[in-house]
Structure 1
Amino acid sequence: MINVLFMAPQKSWAAYKTELPAAIAEVGVTAHVSPDIPDEEVDYIVYGPKDTGTDFTAYPRLKAVLGLWAGVESIVGNETLTVPLARMVDPGLANGMVEWVTGHVLRHHLGMDAHIVNPDHLWAPSPPPLARNRRVTILGLGELGTACGTALARLGFDVTGWSRTPRSVPDLRCLAGPSELETAIDGAEILVLLLPLTPETENTLDAPRLARLSPGAVVLNPGRGALVDDTALLAALESGQVGHATLDTFRTEPLPADHPYWQNDQVTVTPHIASATRPDTASVVIAENLRRAIDGAPLLHLVDRSRGY
């Protein structure tokens, strides 16, 4: 019997209290799973960020922390965490992100807003280019970026992907490393941000890089809010260098009611819904990692502390 502490916002437990124990039992592991386990009896922690100040030295038996979310920036720098840390790579998470990104890329590619909201009943035929003539760049070719890039390429879009280290993805033009970041951005008509948030990626989309986009380009940010220099983006929207920004993540969430994004007609705000961890699929990932830990096998999706993800 192992003890698994569910350390996440209380509202999450209602969604996981049936799915997670069932998935763990399915892989043949006997476990007590609860948000209430004495510190000295905790063997594993299933972690969904509650705050940034957890002292993991309080758990003397702790063997690993298994994240519920893809992002780990709230925990990866915690100096009290010395056991392995795994992030969530969940098929449901990837599926949701593909649907959000594909939907908004098609929305802007097709110019759907002008037809959905047309109070003056204007008849102004202006067919869009075919997808093959629309340049889309995705910054970040991890699990989510690769899935989104592949889906867009299958629709015919001209997709460039950029990653920190070299990747090869069928049907995508893949660039890598700091020396090719500007090349990836140059002339992009739709830019999708799916990078992890690290000190190196904060403000990736700043004024000089916004200036490299095709005039009137669209920016989609379902990644992390701090990837974008907000002041620079607002200025680019004002000048027309960026035609529209659809943003799902922000430095402060919920987005404050007085934030300029709310007042800007060229900005679409979605409330961090681009993708979410689904209890049914995420529980399977957690259960498999617990089985591996008990069997002495390598854990899936281990975080590289030096990179921050």
Structure 2
Amino acid sequence: MLLLHLTNIDEASWAASFRKALAPYPVVLRGDDFDPADVRYIFVWKPKADAFEGLTGLEAILSLGAGVDALMQHPNLPDLPVVRFVDEDLSQRMSDYVVAHVTMHHRQYTRFQRDQKARNWTQVYPPAAGETTVGIMGMGVLGQDAVRRLKPLGFSLRSWSRTPKHVEGVECFAGDEGFEPFLTGTDILVNLLPLTPDTAGILNTETFSKLRRGSLEGGPVIINAARGGHQRESDIVAALKDGTLGAASLDVFEVEPLPKDSPLWEIENCYITPHIAAISNKKSGVRYFSRIIEDHRAGKPLINVVDRARGY
């Protein structure tokens, strides 16, 4: 039996799709009449504290989100495999966001927007893509897809991850010893890291101060499409105001929705989007998790299982 526990999401619509895909395998919702001991899989998004109560026969936890940081902090999370959502559609959407904002900042959108408002005609030529280095933090599925999309545009690419990676056409750095060398050659910093205790608050004053200067007019740029917990917003405000950063694109925030009194709203070189960079599509999500359930019931191993030690 599959149980859906989706907070702030249309559970009924997802359940109807799962029932069609898995028939005759039973699919239930909270509030339905069923024996909790019969549940073998639970499909979750922001599960409440009692989500796992009575699920003595549970075999796997299926997470709607690609990021599982909030789920891993659940006070009653069973010691069972957690399967995260890995999907081409989600990766494409995230890369769309990354490419759009990288190219926007590379072409000096902030400068020309300011000139337009002032009716100022000044021909400043942005550097060529090959003269601009995009540094991506996080070389998982999303990071590697972003690299594939950016590479044909001609940017110089580098990456940083907690463990060593080898990606063709990318200068790869890893670990604490590689972090500063990675930053000092980066003009546009893209964060696609998983949120763990080691990466919390990594977008801070110290990080910003080490980014390369002199390539982009106005200063280096950050793009955060991962988690709000990665950034210290007071540091971003200060860096945007004092010129440590030339601009920032932020899709995630420490508190969501972003409070109306946040100073980020009024900073002209800060581009805010309401956590929409990528979304878990229902059609692809049902297809993905239905296949996982069917394969597991047939005796095949689960895929994309979270490493509890690493937190992703």
Q: Tell me the TM-score normalized by structure 2.
A: 0.91
**Where does 1:97-136 land on structure 2 (aligned, <5 Å)?**
97-115=94-112, 118-136=116-134
TM-superposition CA deviations, 1:104-163 (whole Å, max 9, x none): 111111123444561333221112111111011000000001111221112110010111
RMSD of aligned Cα (Å)? 1.8
1:261 is aligned to 2:264:
yes
The equivalent residue for 1:74 is 70
Q: What CA distance in whole angstroms lies between the structure 1 residues aligned with 2:311 and 2:255?
A: 20
Structure 1 CA distance for aligned equivalents of residues 21 and 165 of structure 2: 33
CA distance in 1, matches of 2:40, 2:258: 37
Is 1:32 equivalent to 2:26 in the alignment?
Answer: yes
Tell me by how many angstroms 1:276 deviates. 0.6
Q: For 1:174, give the aligned amino acid.
A: C
Runs of 4+ in 1 over 6 A off after TM superposition: none
Letter in 2 for 1:31: Y
Q: Distance in 1 between the 2:232 and 2:185 partners?
A: 19
Distance 1:233-1:120 versus aligned 2 partners, 3 A rule: closer
**Equivalent residue, structure 2, for 1:196:** 194
1:83 aligns to 2:80 (yes or no): yes
Cα drift, residue 204 of structure 1: 1.1
Please, which moves more after superposition, 190-199 or 259-268? 259-268
Give yes or no for contact 2:231–2:254 (8 Å, CA) kept in 1: no
Name the structure 1 match of 2:7. 9
Identity of aligned residues (%): 33
For 1:233-248, what aligned pairs fall within 5 Å after superposition?
A: 233-248=236-251
2:99 corresponds to which letter in structure 1? T
C-alpha contact (below 8 Å) 2:143/2:192 kept by paired residues: yes
> How far does residue 42 in structure 1 lie from its aligned partner after superposition?
1.7
User: 1:64 aligns to what?
Assistant: 60
What's the CA shift for 1:307? 0.8
What is aligned with 1:223?
A: 226
1:102–1:148 Cα contact (<8 Å) kept: yes
Judge which range, 206-215 or 83-92, deviates more: 206-215
The equivalent of 1:300 in structure 2 is 303
Cα 1:186–1:15 shift into 2, 3 Å: farther
Q: Which structure would you say has the larger RCO, counting Cα contacts within 8 Å and 6 or more residues apart?
A: 1
CA distance in 2, matches of 1:211, 1:14: 48
Deviates more, 1:57-66 or 1:95-104: 57-66
Range that drifts further, 257-266 or 238-247? 257-266
User: Aligned letter for 1:282?
Assistant: G
In the alignment, is the contact (CA less than 8 A) between 2:110 and 2:247 conserved in 1? no
